Chains A and B, each alone.
Chain A
Amino acid sequence: MIIDHPILGPRDAQEFVYLGDASLMNRPDGLSDGIGAFHDYLYNRANPVGEHRELWYHEQGDRSWLVVTRNTLTHEITKVELARDVARASGRSR
């Protein structure tokens, strides 16, 4: 698979480390939402068939975190964003 890095251009997926569902960025603030919410965040996954937004870390490159939109049935990658931009767009780091 080739991941089209927003800054570096197309890079081999082997340069990256995979973390999983991009919703892992939305960590609850401690146990403020209850233990159930944190348990769901840490252990449960949507694990969809088809389009999946997921976190990849460019360990062998510029060490940026990316949010990659990829189809789990075909492995086709349709969108690559910097995780930083996604977080800011959602109102984080103001």
Chain B
Amino acid sequence: MRYSAFRVIAEALTGHRGWTPVWRDPEPQADYDYIIIGGGGHGLATAYYLAKEFGQKRIAVLEKGYLGGGNVGRNTTIIRSNYLLDGNEPFYEFSLKLWEGLEQDFNYNAMVSQRGIINLIHTDAQRDAFTRRGNAMILNGADAELLDREQVRAMYPWLNFDNARFPIKGALMQRRGGTVRHDAVAWGYARGADMRGVDLIQNCEVTGMRIERGRILGVETTRGFIGARTVGVAVAGSSSKVMAQAGLRLPIESHVLQAFVSEGLKPFIDGVMTFGAGHFYVSQSDKGGLVFGGDIDGYNSYAQRGNLPVIEDVAEGGMALMPAIGRARLLRTWGGIMDMSMDGSPIIDRTPVEGLYFNGGWCYGGFKATPASGWCFAHLLARDEPHPTARAYRFDRFLKGLMIDEKGQGATPNLH
């Protein structure tokens, strides 16, 4: 069923009896051409583009819980393409361009809102670094603007401009950045994939991989064996666990990242703001809640919940930047599990097992990457060669010294 304003009116006049389920709930078949493990944003986007852009058929997405129940439903919904390095920026700009046409493409309201994102500047050195980054963005076809202090003040007059430690001196702005309704991204891709014949199989956990003579033949699941010559894994957060079934060790640690929502407030932040020096970033949802976050907790975890010291740290960062939120109450906090890679950048690559492909290592930047990640992974699965914007996301970059390390932290996943 195609959604349109006309359809809404027609249904309203006929008692809303014509709406049908958004996707089927099929039984798994014995055998597919492609299996995608992971029914989150990246897995569903992969299946969608595999069917739509690469014309492939007989595709299944296997999800251990329900569609969109992992990190695509647990993030802070920000999209942007403000990276510095050559391996990253073209990919993220490709992703941002896909976001811009996404709703028309999959005929679903994902509430893509290009409300602009600013990264605050506090020192001359930081201004130099952000100037360089802005230039790198422009060279890669993205947009970037350097704002001075008064331009930032015109946008957000209530910020703490004269903080003794981190006075605000300006900002790097990307006007095309913004936020997206995260669950709707999963639902839109799921619906689009289902309409093109992809089987979305929920409550189906992969428990083993059948590999013979170095080639994948299918996966063992809680709903029986399912055969496929091509298997793509897109389970960021659980990557090490799933890939261990194929006997592989990954350059990844799983860490917990917490996020926060305040009670609903009147609109006063119309964009996205990051305060990197104080480890705090914030936007305001359409319901009025401040959606914010900070650093990862910093130790290996699969718990999907963090500890109190980070909550205190994030709250302090928020108070330092915008003292006005001191009276607002925190409504909820939650945690998601991040694939923290050894250089802070993702992996979309073949594996030593023929027919088995991997997509993961997204650190805490996976949501904004969803469309391009799906597109590039589908490209890799369908053609067995990397998409031009994702060529650098290889496993062997660590062996060859070709790390894509935006922060220059080295092999310390909890510092990226």
CA distance A40 to B398 in the complex (A): 10
CA distance A85 to B236 in the complex (A): 36
User: CB-CB contacts of A49-69 with B at 8 A, as 1s and 0s?
Assistant: 100101000000000000000
Check A20 against B303 for contact (C-beta < 8 Å): no
Known contacts A44-B250, A44-B251, A35 near B302 by CB under 8 Å: no
Given the complex of chains A and B, what is the CA–CA distance between A73 and B302 in angstroms?
5
Give the chain B neighbours of A47 by CB distance below 8 A. 240-241, 250, 252-254, 300
A45 touches B302 (CB 8 A): no
Q: Does residue A7 face the partner (Cβ distance < 8 Å to B)? A: no
**Contact flag A20-B399 (CB < 8 Å), given A14-B309, A45-B240, A75-B301:** no
The answer to whether A11 has its CB under 8 Å from any CB of chain B is no
Q: Are A1 and B307 in contact (CB under 8 A)?
A: yes
What residues of B have a CB within 8 angstroms of the CB of A18 in the complex? Answer: 298-299, 414
Name the interface residues of A17-57: CB closer than 8 Å to any CB of B. 18-21, 35-36, 39-40, 42-49, 52, 54
B230-283 CB contacts (< 8 Å) to partner A: 238, 240-241, 244, 249-254
Within 8 A of A (CB), among B285-317: 298-303, 307, 309
- A45 and B255 alpha carbons, distance in the complex (Å): 13
Structural contact, B398 and A39, CB atoms closer than 8 A = yes
CA distance A82 to B102 in the complex (A): 54
A75/B307 in contact, CB under 8 A: yes
Which of chain B's residues have a CB closer than 8 A to the CB of A20?
A: 253, 300, 412-414
Q: Return A9 CB to nearest CB of chain B, in Å.
A: 19
Mostly, the A contact residues are mixed
> Which residues of chain A are near B414, meaning CB under 8 Å?
18, 20
Given A52-B300, A72-B303; A45-B252 close (CB under 8 Å) = yes
Residues of B within 8 A of A35 (CB): 399
Which residues of A sit under 8 angstroms from B253, Cβ to Cβ?
20-21, 45, 47
Q: Is the CB of B303 within 8 A of A40?
A: no
> At the interface, yes or no: A74 with Cβ under 8 Å from chain B?
yes
Give A47's nearest chain B residue, CB to CB.
B240
Task: Output the nearest chain B residue to A73 by Cβ-Cβ distance.
Answer: B302
Q: Which residues of A contact B250 (CB under 8 A)?
A: 44-45, 47
What 0/1 pattern do residues 184 to 200 of B give for CB contact below 8 A with A? 00000000000000000
B411 part of interface (Cβ distance < 8 Å):
yes
Q: Which residues of A contact B240 (CB under 8 A)?
A: 45-48
Q: Which residues of A contact B299 (CB under 8 A)?
A: 13, 18, 54, 70
A80 to chain B, nearest CB (A): 14
Contact B254 A72 (CB under 8 A): yes
Q: Which residue of A lies closest to B254 (CB)?
A: A47
Which of A43, A46, A54, A73 touches B411 (beta carbons < 8 Å)?
Answer: A43
Q: Does B152 contact A (CB under 8 A)?
A: no
When distances are taken between beta carbons in the complex, the residues of chain B under 8 Å from A70 are 299
B342 within 8 A of A: yes
Q: Mark B388-401, 1 if CB is under 8 A from A, else 0.
A: 00000000001100
Chain B residues with CB under 8 Å of A45's CB are 240, 249-253
By a CB distance below 8 angstroms, the chain A residues around B244 are: 46
Give the distance in Å from the alpha carbon of A35 to the alpha carbon of B399 in the complex.
8
Q: Of the candidates A21, A43, A52, A73, which one forms a contact with B398 in the assembled complex, judged by CB atoms under 8 Å apart?
A: A43
User: In angstroms, how far is the closest chain A Cβ from the Cβ of B295?
Assistant: 12
List chain B residues, Cβ under 8 A from A46: 240, 244, 249
Give the one of B250, B302, B412 with max A CB within 10 A: B302
CB distance from B254 to the nearest CB of A (A): 6
Minimum CB–CB distance from A72 to chain B (whole Å) comes to 5
Q: Can you name 11 extra interface pairs (CB under 8 A) apart from A21-B253, A45-B250, A54-B299?
A: A13-B299, A36-B399, A43-B251, A43-B342, A44-B249, A44-B251, A47-B241, A47-B253, A72-B303, A73-B303, A75-B301
Q: Which residues of B contact A (CB under 8 A)?
A: 238, 240-241, 244, 249-254, 298-303, 307, 309, 342, 398-399, 411-414
23 inter-chain pairs at a CB distance below 8 angstroms, sorted by A residue, are: A12-B309, A13-B307, A18-B299, A20-B414, A21-B300, A35-B399, A36-B399, A39-B399, A40-B249, A42-B398, A43-B411, A44-B249, A44-B250, A45-B249, A45-B250, A45-B252, A46-B249, A47-B240, A47-B250, A48-B240, A49-B238, A70-B299, A75-B307
